Structure 1
Amino acid sequence: MSLQQRPPVLPVHRTAAKRRSFDPVVVAAVAVGISAAGAARPSLWFDEAATISASTRSPAQLWRMVGNIDAVHGLYYLLMRGWYAVFPATEFGSRLSSALAVGLAAAGVVVLGRQISTRTVAVAAGLVFAVLPRVTWAGMETRSYALSMAAAVWLTVFCVLAARRGRPWWWLAYALLLASATLLNVFLLLIVPAHAVAVALAGSTPRDIRLWAAAATGAATAVTPFLMFTQSQLFQVRWIAQLGSHTVGEVLEKQYFDRSLPAALGAGAILLAALVCGSWPATGRPGRLLPVLALTWIAVPTATLLAYSALRNPIYYPRYLSFTAPAFALLLGLCIVALARSRIGVAVVLACFAVAATPNYLAQRGPYAKENMDYSAVADVIDRNAAPGDCLVLDNSAAWKPGPIRPLTAARPDV
């Protein structure tokens, strides 16, 4: 008689927990793949050339530069300087940093969604984020937009965690992270009202609320000199148009959908249907946390930039609100799950949304997708045909916002 040895059987709850722990990693990998695909094809353009130019300078040169222009990008340039110490300043080598930042942000969306809602909502929101046109644009743009998304969502994750732990040192760390995030993107300070909602609806005690308020106030106070200094460089955004009828389209379409009208209409239909049907997966204070947090995260920064633009100087531009994209993905993911009910239904709706966003995704990856600029093509021609002693004549009289010729030679330092 022989005994057959059977492999140990893991408890069902332990296996399910293990699968849940991989959700952020899987969604992050999907998001990175989507953003990185075709990232080498579009030509570099003015803003990306500015990033390469600034980030390949010495620390002393960079410090002098941000004293005159681009102070709001100083921390990002410093981080990219470290990136270029490892990766080449090519189209793909530069944009890979943003694709990885999108993956980090997508993982954060899943983690935050799981903190304040269900696993299904968290994964759905993460996948919405991965295919959202504003995200697929930021994921192949060598600027701080993708990194600001990651900073915003993980700062919110930390805020919710701190509210539930209730330890003073958590709030000290939160203050340091909030100040650092503001140095990365000055508009990230506008996420504070959303965090007030998170703390209030997370079941915090009055003591915890006071600790959060002290941390947020301390961070805001610490970065005030920096914010005041950046006011002296507002001349750099004089090209932004005054508010007008076009602003409605910018807010409703371009802010999250780039130039994808089908994706905007599809998302609008989902949000409207959820509102009309009142289909929310939970009720009470815990059930309100996600929608109220997301709406505050979206509405306050948008309204603030619009109000400042109307009353003082125009600063509203759709891509400047990229750090609110995680909130929109969470809200849309919640509505999709509430309406679809089943996982199969959720998968179908997500697939339809991805299909609606596909034409714009492909357009983003065209050779001249970035404002029709051809810096890379010019660099390729020079690289193929230039000989020692040749001269390069640049006509800087062509006007754009600002002139496109000035940073041309910085776009591809290898040529």
Structure 2
Amino acid sequence: MILTQSVSKSRAPKMGDAPTTRTCALVVLPPAFLALLLGLWQPGLSFWRDEAVTVGVIRRTIPDIFRFLANLDAVYGTYYLLLHPIADTLGTGELTLRFPSILATAATAAATAHLANRLMMPKAGLAAGLLYAGAPFASRFAHEARPYAIATMLTVLATIFFLGTIERPSRRSHLIYGGSLVLLGMIHLFALLVVIAHLVTLTLLRGGRTRLRPWFITVTAVATVLLPLIGVAMTQRNQVSWLRPPRWNDVSALLTVFAGSRALIFFMAAAISAGAILTSKNAGKYMQRTPMVWSLAAPWLLVPPTTLLLISQLYPLYSARYVSMSLPALALLASVGVTRVPGTTWLIPLVLYGALAAPSHMAQRRQSTEPDQLREAARIISSHASPGDAIVYLPTNRRAVAEAYPDAFQQLRDVTLNVSPASAGNLGGIEATPQEIRRRLTDATLTRVWLLEGEQLWRGPTLDALNHAKIDALEKSFRQDGRWRVRSLTLTLYVRTGHSTSDRRSDNRRLTGEGSPGHL
């Protein structure tokens, strides 16, 4: 059986049996270059709401960042602190803040190629790296100023170091492996689900069970180091209260986004099936080197998503982005079947893969398919607002738009705010009381007010007292002079009743197509 081959008898190349530098370069550089090229293709689309949080947090001072982390997003604290000096030095442009994710995706492609080369042979490494680099799901997170691409990179590195503890067990190899897990957990706690996959790998390998004791010691030490972060994260669980228990359609959606499209599901299924059939027949010297690939990659692909899906039936925590660290395993498994095509014709499936993935890549790079268009909202403000205009946010966390594109909002007065988000240690700041908000908005010196809210306009009894006071004051003392709708946002300009305005350029127009973009 392929899953019970002895570790000691495995013919996979070991760390000390490294191929030549030229071979390594030919294996890892093309995938890294492809991932970098795709990452630099249209990286300047508008920030979306989660990225707006990143921008808002990293623009704060270090003490303010720590004040924020004590209340929210502690699990992303390391990521915010990594990006803080970049924002201070280079600004908060889209490409600037996404470039670390682009580099991480290129490094992941190279590391995936290295891992497949180490376990099998150079062409398998090249195929695995290219499959990962060309994956739309990988490219999606290369274009986000969020930690998922970096977490995936660290997951591959941790898996390489885990392999080192199997091939050359020593105190040093376990220390390196443990250190990589600590760093991985600091970037994204959910990525540590790969540790369970590593445990499954040890139990599948004959001889692997003898290494369980040092593995448990290492993982226990890692958990001890990360315990404070885990404790804080548990107190902030309300941040994911919007999640719901996943259903079967979520499993189907995960298959689609991992593969890249419905057509690519069949491609990946065919490649993996071909690899499994050939491996089970143990056909030739090459196939004798693949059992470790299956023992390593199959749990890596299946265990983290399955674990989170099951946990989320009781405590909803599942989102496809939280298990993106399993995508390299899919590339590893598919590379087994792809590279069994005779001669140089094994490149044909890779060309087919690229052709099938191209529509998904092009769709991801159209602004109209983005989940938010915060930059367009900022452009509307820049074009139509006048110095001294006021702005009201509904609800308070819509201030993230102004955090993402602050230049457009500098000329506006935030009339309902008492304490800034940075000082309050949150995303929306602290607003005035409902009575004070009514008083401020009915001040006769205030003639034009902008209301920034979601695409769905909430009114009436669904509003809390604070937000009801905003709408009540605006509708009693002002009239609508224009409304602009962009994806996920609505901007309304209110002018005080009886006050004339020359700005009639807005006519209740929608700037993007109807419907939801279906972001992960």
Give the TM-score category using the shorter length: 0.7 to 0.9
Number of equivalences:
388
Matches within 5 A, 1:166-205: 166-196=169-199
TM-score, reference length from structure 1: 0.85
Gaps of 5+ in 1: 1-13, 398-402
Residue 93 in 1 paired to residue 96 in 2? yes
**Aligned-CA RMSD value:** 2.6
Shift of 1:257: 3.5
* 1-structure distance, mates of 2:328, 2:28: 14
Q: Which amino acid in structure 1 is aligned with residue 353 of structure 2?
A: F
Shift of 1:87: 2.9
On the 8 A contact 1:163/1:202 being kept in 2, the answer is: no
Q: Which amino acid in structure 1 is aligned with residue 76 of structure 2?
A: H
Shift of 1:194: 3.3
Q: Which has the higher helix share?
A: 1
Q: Which residue among 33, 37, 40 is the counterpart of 1:33?
A: 37
* 2-structure distance, mates of 1:70, 1:48: 13
Alpha-carbon displacement from aligned partner over 1:304-355 (angstroms, at most 9, x marks no partner):
1011011x211111111111111111111122113x2333x22111111111
On the 8 A contact 2:128/2:335 being kept in 1, the answer is: yes
* 2-structure distance, mates of 1:291, 1:318: 23
For 1:350, the equivalent position in structure 2 comes to 350
Shift of 1:271: 2.4
On the 8 A contact 2:363/2:369 being kept in 1, the answer is: yes
Shift of 1:200: 6.9
For 1:327, the equivalent position in structure 2 comes to 329
Shift of 1:17: 4.7
Give identity over the alignment, percent: 27
On the 8 A contact 2:101/2:145 being kept in 1, the answer is: yes
On the 8 A contact 2:105/2:142 being kept in 1, the answer is: yes
* 2-structure distance, mates of 1:220, 1:16: 37
Shift of 1:88: 2.5
For 1:272, the equivalent position in structure 2 comes to 273
For 2:488, the equivalent position in structure 1 comes to none
* 2-structure distance, mates of 1:58, 1:130: 35
For 1:315, the equivalent position in structure 2 comes to 317
Residue 67 in 1 paired to residue 70 in 2? yes
For 1:217, the equivalent position in structure 2 comes to 220
Report SS of the residue matched to 2:334.
Answer: helix
Gaps of 5+ in 2: 1-17, 409-520
* 1-structure distance, mates of 2:26, 2:206: 28
Alpha-carbon displacement from aligned partner over 1:201-233 (angstroms, at most 9, x marks no partner):
889788755333321221123223422321222
On the 8 A contact 2:46/2:374 being kept in 1, the answer is: yes
On the 8 A contact 2:23/2:122 being kept in 1, the answer is: no
On the 8 A contact 1:54/1:77 being kept in 2, the answer is: yes
Residue 294 in 1 paired to residue 297 in 2? yes
Residue 252 in 1 paired to residue 245 in 2? no
On the 8 A contact 1:43/1:369 being kept in 2, the answer is: no
* 1-structure distance, mates of 2:273, 2:212: 33
Shift of 1:134: 0.8
For 2:25, the equivalent position in structure 1 comes to 21
* 1-structure distance, mates of 2:169, 2:369: 48
User: Which sits farther off after the overlay, 227-236 or 353-362?
Assistant: 227-236
Q: Which amino acid in structure 1 is aligned with residue 401 of structure 2?
A: L
Alpha-carbon displacement from aligned partner over 1:151-173 (angstroms, at most 9, x marks no partner):
00011112223433333123123
Decide whether aligned partners of structure 1 residues 86 and 334 sit closer, same or farther in structure 2, where only a CA change above 3 A counts.
farther
Residue 79 in 1 paired to residue 82 in 2? yes
Alpha-carbon displacement from aligned partner over 1:358-380 (angstroms, at most 9, x marks no partner):
11111111113321x11011223
Shift of 1:248: 2.8
On the 8 A contact 1:271/1:332 being kept in 2, the answer is: yes
For 2:377, the equivalent position in structure 1 comes to 378
Q: Which has the higher contact order (CA 8 A, sep 6+)?
A: 1
Decide whether aligned partners of structure 1 residues 248 and 160 sit closer, same or farther in structure 2, where only a CA change above 3 A counts.
closer
For 1:394, the equivalent position in structure 2 comes to 393
* 2-structure distance, mates of 1:304, 1:206: 22
For 1:359, the equivalent position in structure 2 comes to 359
For 1:228, the equivalent position in structure 2 comes to 231
* 2-structure distance, mates of 1:350, 1:294: 20
Q: Which has the higher strand share?
A: 2
Alpha-carbon displacement from aligned partner over 1:254-286 (angstroms, at most 9, x marks no partner):
2x145x2222232223223444565777455x4
For 2:369, the equivalent position in structure 1 comes to 369
